[in-house]
Amino acid sequence: MKSCPGSLFIALLALLGACVSPAEAQVRIKDITDVEGVRQNQLIGYGLVVGLNGTGDKLNNNVFTRESLIGMLERLGVNTRDQVTNLSTKNVAAVMVTAQLPAFARSGSHIDIAVSALGDATNLTGGTLLVTPLLGADGEVYAVGQGPLSSSAVSARGAASSVTRGVPTSARIANGATVEKEVAYQLDKGNTLRLGLRNPDLTTARRIAAAINGTLGSPIARATDPRTVSIALGPRDFIDTLAAIENLPVVPDNEARVIVDEASGTIVMGANVRISTVAIAQGNLTIRVTETPEVSQPGPFSNGTTTTVPRTQIQIDDQHDRKLGILESGTTLRELVAGLNALGVGPRDLISILQAIKAQGALHADLEIR
């Protein structure tokens, strides 16, 4: 029995589209917006990882690792300047450390950090990050990281082959950095509260404003652009107002878009995708040639010789059972998926069909190919 690689996936999409009700499509305002001024800050630092099992940087090839190691030892009272040529350890690696400083992080709280090899280290598993200052964009130190690395990568090497799963040169440390400096921001100051939509859309912004006005009983919220909803607080308390509106349900609206990843054959279509009336036929010509040589032996007491006789079998599959399908104007996502699934179209063929429909002008959606 012939199977279609994307049939199960496409059928699942159709099932999900059939099961979603308007009530289930509602989301909370806090899940699709951000409060203006409340944001994370990126931190970065340079440090050393020690305790590696011979998988660290080669000091002769990485000057920055060697100099960092010498500087660290000197701060600890160990002089190695006169023995630089004798440093041959492979248990140390230079790394870049990155982190996200959350909004309202207070001094003494802990944040996760990511550690990535900078030199030619092959594996950071089992290493320990030494004290590393983490700097913000202004050059100030906002956190300090240290601790044992944790990595889900697996790497094994033998004399003739090796196996690597994951990325062994990257690791994380949960709660590995301590916040030393806070980012000053007073949330309860100001007379205007601004909400920023994560996916800008004017219809969604107006729905958010309407939901807020309906709950608070006065027209204090308005959509100033597709990304921003402005709320005039007046005598209202900033925190109380935000707490009252962040759980309000709204139905977000999105533009019609089809995203195609040609490398993996992944296709994602939004619920608002529509097409005009088109006829679709899809099929490929497949010729299969099978060689099955047979051995021919002469009869008993004859002067013949044993020889190989070629036997060739040719099969042609023109997929004549694939019929022309018609998709009527205004076809929805569910109907489009069901129609193409009925034609036995796989993800790879579906990409070509969508491109052809878009070129013909019948696909009323933004086709984004990555």
Which of these, 78, 97, 96, 95, lies nearest to 87 by C-alpha position?
Answer: 78
Q: Is the pLDDT of residue 24 over 70?
A: no
Instruction: Give the model's pLDDT for residue 15.
Output: 40
| % the chain with pLDDT above 90 | 33
Which band of pLDDT confidence, cut at 50, 70 and 90, is reported for residue 337? low
| % the chain with pLDDT above 70 | 74
Instruction: Give the model's pLDDT for residue 231.
Output: 92
Instruction: Give the model's pLDDT for residue 310.
Output: 72
Average pLDDT, the chain: 79
Instruction: Give the model's pLDDT for residue 322.
Output: 55
More confident residue, 320 or 82: 82
How far apart CA 283 and CA 324 sit, in angstroms, is 10
Residue 148, CA atoms < 13 Å, CB-side half-sphere: 4
Sequence-distant (6+) residues with CB within 8 A of 112 are 99, 100, 172, 173, 174, 175, 176, 177
pLDDT in tens, 43-70: 999 999 999 988 999 988 888 998 898 8
Q: Is 44 in contact with 139 (CB distance < 8 Å)?
A: no
pLDDT in tens, 142-154: 999 999 999 887 7
Query: Phi and psi for 163 in degrees, rounded to 5?
Result: -130, 130
* DSSP 8-state symbol, 190: S
pLDDT in tens, 93-150: 999 999 999 988 899 999 999 999 999 999 998 899 999 999 999 999 999 999 999 9
DSSP 3-state of 266: strand
**Tokens 């030494």, residue?**
130
How far apart CA 287 and CA 278 sit, in angstroms, is 29
Which of these, 74, 157, 151, lies nearest to 117 by C-alpha position?
Answer: 151
